[in-house]
Amino acid sequence: MSNFWLKFFATGAFISYIPTAILKNKKNSGAGLLGTFEAFVLFLFFMPSNPLHQAMALLGTILFAVYISDRVDFGDGKEDNPKIIIDEIAGYFTAMAFLPKKFWIMVLAFILFRIFDTTKLSFIRKAEKLGQELPPQTKKKFYINGAAVVLDDVLAGIVSNLIIWCLITVNLL
């Protein structure tokens, strides 16, 4: 796959260039927030309701995000470039996995996912450092850099999802 297409998918069809063009040289560019909003819209219109189909779509999205995140090159030497938002898409899809497709649940998943993705609980922070000590050839062979980029977002999505399920179970939602 050419680097153009890798960038296309990694940036959510170049959506993540919008905030980075406006807020130059900022650590928190807003691309993650915009990527999560894009995931919200994609989930709303395209995620199947059938649990088996949803599981397959979620697994496919996560694996595709790992591949893309590992292979894309922005020419800056960063493994987790802020322009990469496909990981936010995989993370938000995880946050919404198998939950009722109701607007207010989607909004709550959005808020919780953004909180956990931004604050990074200790085990999520450790996931970002996945495989740093491995030799470069091993990292490339097993897509370790891509997995590290995506895994922290998937974990933030899992935590968000579990909280929402707990709230549903105790009839608070």
Per-residue confidence (pLDDT) for residue 129, from 0 to 100: 76
Compute CA distances 78 → 48, 83, 98, 143, whole Å: 34, 10, 34, 15
Spell out the alpha helix ranges (H) of the chain: 3-10, 17-22, 31-46, 51-71, 86-95, 103-119, 122-128, 136-141, 144-169
35 in Cβ contact with 107 (< 8 Å) = no
Mean pLDDT of each 10-residue bin along the chain, 173 residues long: 94 88 66 95 96 98 96 83 94 97 97 95 81 76 86 96 97 88
Per-residue confidence (pLDDT) for residue 28, from 0 to 100: 62
How far apart CA 58 and CA 22 sit, in angstroms, is 32
How far apart CA 117 and CA 154 sit, in angstroms, is 9
How far apart CA 15 and CA 165 sit, in angstroms, is 31
